[in-house]
Each structure stands twice: as C-alpha cells, then as structure tokens.
Amino acid sequence: MAKKEQRRAARQTQQQRPRGPGLVRPNLRRAVTQGAILTGVYVLVMYLFFRQSLPVWWAEVVYVLVFFVMYTGFVYFWENFLYTRRMRRQQQGGKK
C-alpha cells in the first residue's frame, strides 16, 4: 500500500470515530487546573471589590487555599458525575 493510500485510510477511520464532549475520563490534573483558574478569578474579584476587608495577609492566604480545595474537589466530582451518567446512557443505547 502506498503512503497516500495509508494516509487516506487513516483519515477515514479518524473521521468515522464518534467524538463528543464528555467522553474524556475525568482526571485530577484537569480538576486542579480548573480549580486554579477559578481561584484566580476569586482572587481577582476579591482584590477589585474588597481590598481592605481583611486586616491580616495570612487570612487572605487561608481563604485562597480553602477556595482552591473546594473548587478543585467540586470540579472533579462534577466531571466524574457527568462522565458516569453519560457512560450509563451510552450503554443503555441513547438518551431517554
């Protein structure tokens, strides 16, 4: 088989595979990344609107760490819930 034919066959098999959101297995790395992004948004909002609300710097650090853990945990468990739900629907044969 020539190179062009191999490439064409590879492209056709890639196009035939079903793709869609939610078929990616949830992992902790992605949850940590999204948690960091959400924590950054939280820090930005707190800096813009509540600059002088906390008198000590360590209290702000504690809040940031608490929100990072909460956001990361929530994102991971939410993605895990959606993944299992979509897999269950896929095994049952479609949406009901």
* Residue 77 in domain: yes
**Residue numbers of the domain that contains 74:** 25-92
Residue 50 lies in a domain: yes
Residue 7, domain member (yes or no): no
Please state the domain count of the chain: 1
Note whether residue 33 is domain-resident: yes
- Judge whether 5 lies within some domain: no
Within a domain: residue 61?
A: yes
Distance CA 8, CA 23 (A): 26
DSSP string, 59-70: HHHHHHHHHHHH
- What pTM does this model have? 0.64
Mean per-residue pLDDT, 25-43: 91
Q: What is the pLDDT of residue 92?
A: 86
DSSP H helical ranges for 1-56: 3-16, 28-49
First to last CA, the chain: 45
Statement: residue 41 has pLDDT above 60: yes
What is the rounded CA–CA span in Å between residue 89 and residue 60?
A: 43
pLDDT tens figures, 8-32 = 887 777 765 555 554 788 899 999 9
* Residue 10, domain member (yes or no): no
Is residue 1 situated within a structural domain?
Answer: no
